Amino acid sequence: MAKKKYLRALCIVIMLAGVALAFQRGRNRPSFLDGDDDPEPYPTDAAEKTEWTFARLRYNSYRQQAGYWGVRGSWSTDAPKAERHLAQGIRRLSRVHARSVEEVVDLDTDKIFDYPWLYAVEVGHWDLSDTQAAKLREYLNRGGFLMVDDFHGTIEWEIFMRSMSRVFPDRPVVDINNKDAIFHILFDLDDRIQIPGIVMFYTGQTYEQDGVKDKWGGIYDDKGRIVVAICHNMDLGDAWEHADMPQYPERYTSMAYRIGLNYIIYSMTH
């Protein structure tokens, strides 16, 4: 009898928790976002051999976030829709033979050296060890390219730089000049705009925290090649992820695709 009462009480607790979670997710949430985190169908050509793959960096977080992304880790934000949608765009808008599925890599193995283009998201939360920083430095010095995205404001910049300063203690972050090849190698991108995430549907503004101004930064090697491309106070990953959402403004998605393509082709040719 006691066991039945315990099971009944447990079921009630689980049910109430589910209702609370559903309410929390739905509160102040635009109705058209209700299905934005549905699983992305796995492509039938995933095993096809291609010349380029979207490689996403998995890292340890400086501060574990609460909620869904806290369980998965900040590094996985927008996955897998962002990379799969971008891969579709690359196939349509260029001659680059892009793999339809992503690859997750970390800095604790040598697998990273198989992918010359690497994407890291939410780097305002990453926390690289000295060993991991050394591995990333080796990767970049050997010809690798890192694009970082979706981190905002002063505090997240400081956290990002704590690890990046261990990767390159002797190389500064600078603003990328409009004339740099990375902005012209495929599309001419002199007139760039700040690319917001879906947070704008809640706040009505294109920036988060105190990150009012978009920053297109870079770190160069001794030969003048950009090895780290920094998209600060922006969220290109959201623009890729929500490319099929009619409510997400087309001008942001178009710019995000052009930036992604330029960075990818630059990494393959420099």
Q: Give the lowest-confidence range in 30-39, 72-81, 176-185, 220-229.
A: 30-39
Which one is predicted more confidently, 197 or 18? 197
CB 160 within 8 A of CB 209: no
> Which neighbouring-strand residues pair with 148?
120, 230
Is residue 4 classed exposed, middle or buried when 0-12, 13-18 and 19+ CB atoms within 10 A define those classes?
exposed
**DSSP assignments along 129-173, one per residue:** -HHHHHHHHHHHHTT-EEEEEEE-HHHHHHHHHHHHHHH-TT---
- pLDDT, residue 40, reads 78
For residue 37, is pLDDT > 60? no
Is residue 146 classed exposed, middle or buried when 0-12, 13-18 and 19+ CB atoms within 10 A define those classes?
buried
The mean pLDDT of 143-172, rounded to a whole number, is: 98
For residue 8, is pLDDT > 90? no
CATH number, span 52-269: 3.40.50.12140
- pLDDT, residue 20, reads 36
Helix then strand then coil, % of the chain, to nearest 5: 45, 15, 45
- pLDDT, residue 18, reads 39
Q: Where exactly are the structural domains of the chain?
A: 52-269
> Which residues fall within 8 angstroms of residue 88, CB to CB, at 6 or more apart?
100
| 243-256 pLDDT tens trace | 999 999 999 999 99
User: Residue type for 22, please?
Assistant: A
Tokens of 5: 């009462």
| 78-135 pLDDT tens trace | 999 999 999 999 999 999 999 999 999 999 999 999 999 999 999 999 999 999 999 9
Q: What pTM did the predictor assign?
A: 0.85
- pLDDT, residue 26, reads 36
**Count of residues making up the chain:** 270
- pLDDT, residue 33, reads 46
Q: Closest Cα to residue 120, out of 107, 134, 101?
A: 107
For residue 38, is pLDDT > 50? yes
| 202-233 pLDDT tens trace | 999 999 999 999 999 999 999 999 999 999 99
